[in-house]
Amino acid sequence: MRATQLFKTGDIRTVDVPQPVPGPGEILIKVEAAGICGTDRHLYHGEFPSVPGKTLGHEFSGLVVDSGDSGIAEGTRVTCDPNTWCGTCEQCQRGRVNLCTRNVATGIHRDGGFAEYCAFPASKAVALPDDLDPLQGAFCEPLACTLHGMDMGAARPGERVLVIGGGVIGLMAVQIARLAGAEVMLLTRSASKQALGRETGAHHAADSETGFREVWPQGADLVVECAGVRETIALAPRLARTGGRVVVLGVLPQGAEVSVEPFDLLFREVQMHFSFLNPFTHARAAQMISDGTISVAPLVSRTITLDEAAGAIAAPALPGEVRAIVVPGA
């Protein structure tokens, strides 16, 4: 079969590999759709730790073709929660499973979904409706991560929520904040993403701090940083109102540093939180996509073949692109 593997920093190729054989507790999935995440590009550039020689892809869904002893019916469409916590370390015992010291991340530590087939832990597969568009199943993982961050931010009805960044995470955060009853603004320089933000639930859109201040001069109750850029992470607490809060969902390269002013955060009592992975949110994300509570169809910018995946990961995202989806069967 074909699979897109990262052999070392800057060396990603789609190659022929043996079809995996599921081990104990695993199922075999025929991958239908896998999203290219910013983390995949961080991995390619050596900006995020990974195991060399693994198949990338942690946002994917597909059909079960070998259920092993799982009890999952073959032919079931599933979404794949990529994080397998150990359950026994101190963090897991505290319920902080996303901080597990022995977490095994599919697409980083073990072979992932940029392949025709993937052997996957049955316990981490979540069933999807038979009639769900396979492309939409690939959005469950990023939505699960977004839900964790938005749970931390806890937007309330009537609050003002600013979302910085018009990518997949940002546009999902817009929808979640709108569902919470908040007044929502999307901040992004991209005109096309501003329009998409309005389409998916934002009341306002701005392209700069100046544009933001024209609408909300006192700042936002909650600022959700989804861009993963030094400048926007530094900007986020400045745009929070006195007594407000910030949640950082964006991922910077390992080792990157950002300057903030503790005096300002102290005297305005601005809270800053950082959100990591998807603890106990994947099944909720799958349900919200399955029942249409969260709209993901507008977030598909393009579909590509498996043989095009390596080049797409090695290159920057196209202008205005929200999500490129790899379709191995195409």
Catalytic residues: 39, 42
Residues 6+ apart with CB under 8 A from 104: 83, 84, 110
Helix axes 168-179, 191-199, angle to 10 degrees: 30
Cβ-Cβ contacts under 8 Å for 20 (sequence gap 6 or more):
28, 111, 117, 118, 119
Residue 140: phi and psi, rounded to 5, are: -65, -40
Q: Quick one: tokens of 58?
A: 């942690």
Task: Please state, as a whole number, how many other Cβ atoms lie within 10 Å of the Cβ of residue 36.
Answer: 25
DSSP letter for 107, please: T
Q: Quickly count: other Cβ atoms within 10 Å of residue 142's Cβ.
A: 26
